[in-house]
Chains A and B, each alone.
Chain A
């Protein structure tokens, strides 16, 4: 399977090409219900994870809630 480079949480990573965002989260073993994703500075809407295709060079931020004051 061919690979592409993306920037994930500030680090360059190789991932399989032609993944959807849902596929990427599965690949990363993340529960889509517990994270939020920003793609190229735009919020990736939760109901669009199936249709958003990850492309080479995408800048992705995957965040979740942690303890804070």
Chain B
């Protein structure tokens, strides 16, 4: 790095500062142990978690918090499985009591086939949660109008999908993602749709503040190696965004000087 290179400013969400711009989910891993190793390899400082009933018939089952320490990582409880604002508020009140933190991920889904967010209900739930004092990071469609509405409702981060949850299709609508980024005054994080490292880099090159992913790591053949790949992809994409890419040209342009040829 040259002396002239500007230091990147860190990611700040609801007053919390993060060195890593990668947030990873904790679902779909073979074991919590594998999950913990992937987390370490990813360099992420924040993880999403779900809130579920304790299995009362076997209280000795392994617990996530025994493998990933909530004092070391920021836990971001989600509302996966909630279909109304009331469900989301109920779930996150429990999460707040379990963990003692207010930073949460809101997702209100609709049809299980595409898992697209129900945006009308998401906006209503966001308003309810903000009123209750939560800091709400919102999973949303890639609709710039709704993204703005969520921000106006007090969302502390806007998290548009890149492609359907768990699909690994990569960012399907870079135009909308860029429009959301241009308009937003809070961090924009692409949540869902990343399949491999280049997808994460594309998101960061668009100017996203971070990427949230789960399946791309958990369902890779080697999740720990993929976690490491994602770490580097997010850094590379961010650096490329800050560096400013060269303009695309229609024709070739030689890299070696034409003058002085023998």
Contact = CB atoms under 8 A, between A and B. Distances in A.
Contacts of B75: 65
B240 interface: no
B164 interface: no
A67 B98 contact: no
Contacts of A63: 51-54, 94, 98
Given A8-B56, A28-B59, A38-B94, A65 B78 contact: no
Contacts of B196: none
Nearest to A64: B54
B64 A69 contact: no
| Contact residues of B: prevailing secondary structure | mixed
A45 to B, nearest CB: 7
B65 A65 contact: yes
B165 interface: yes
B56 A68 contact: no
Nearest to B25: A69
A67 B54 contact: no
Contacts of B59: 28-30
B48 A62 contact: no
B42 interface: no
A56 interface: no
Contacts of B94: 36, 38, 43, 61, 63
A24 B222 CA distance: 42
The range of chain A's interface size is 20 to 34
B38 to A, nearest CB: 11
A38 B95 CA distance: 11
Interface centre among B29, B54, B166 (most CB of A within 10 A): B54
Given A28-B56, A30-B54, A69-B165, A36 B98 contact: yes
Contact of B98 (A11, A28, A41, A65): A65
Contacts of A30: 54, 59
Interface of B: 25-29, 32, 35, 48-54, 56, 59-60, 63-65, 75, 77-78, 80, 90, 93-95, 97-99, 165-166, 192, 214-215
Given A65-B98, A68-B25, A69-B214, 17 more contacts: A28-B59, A29-B59, A29-B60, A30-B54, A30-B59, A34-B98, A63-B51, A63-B54, A63-B98, A64-B54, A65-B63, A65-B75, A65-B99, A67-B29, A68-B78, A69-B165, A69-B192
